[in-house]
Amino acid sequence: MSYYNSKTIQNVSFDKVMKRVIEALKQEGFGVLTEIDVKATMKKKLNIDYRPYMILGACNPPFAHKALMAENKIGTMLPCNVIVQEITDGAIEVSAVDPIASMMAVENEGLAGIATEINEKFKSVIAAL
Residue type, 42: M
- The 3 state secondary structure assigned to 97-127 is ECHHHHHCCCCCHHHHHHHHHHHHHHHHHHH
Rounded Cα distance between 128 and 47, Å, is 36
Q: What rounded mean pLDDT belongs to the chain? A: 95
List the CATH number of the domain containing 91: 3.30.310.70
pLDDT in tens, 33-85: 999 999 999 999 999 999 999 999 999 999 999 999 999 999 999 999 999 99
pLDDT (0 to 100) of residue 89: 87
Sign of CA dihedral 54, 95, 25, 1: negative
Rounded Cα distance between 15 and 39, Å, is 14
Rounded mean pLDDT, 6-15:
97
- Domain span holding position 16: 4-128
Residue 27 has pLDDT above 70, yes or no: yes
Contact between residue 74 and residue 67 where contact means Cβ atoms under 8 Å apart = yes
pLDDT (0 to 100) of residue 74: 95
pLDDT (0 to 100) of residue 104: 83
How many structural domains are present in the chain? 1
The distance of Cα 128 from the centroid of its chain, to the nearest Å, equals 14
Rg (CA), the chain: 15
pLDDT (0 to 100) of residue 1: 64
Residue 103 has pLDDT above 90, yes or no: no
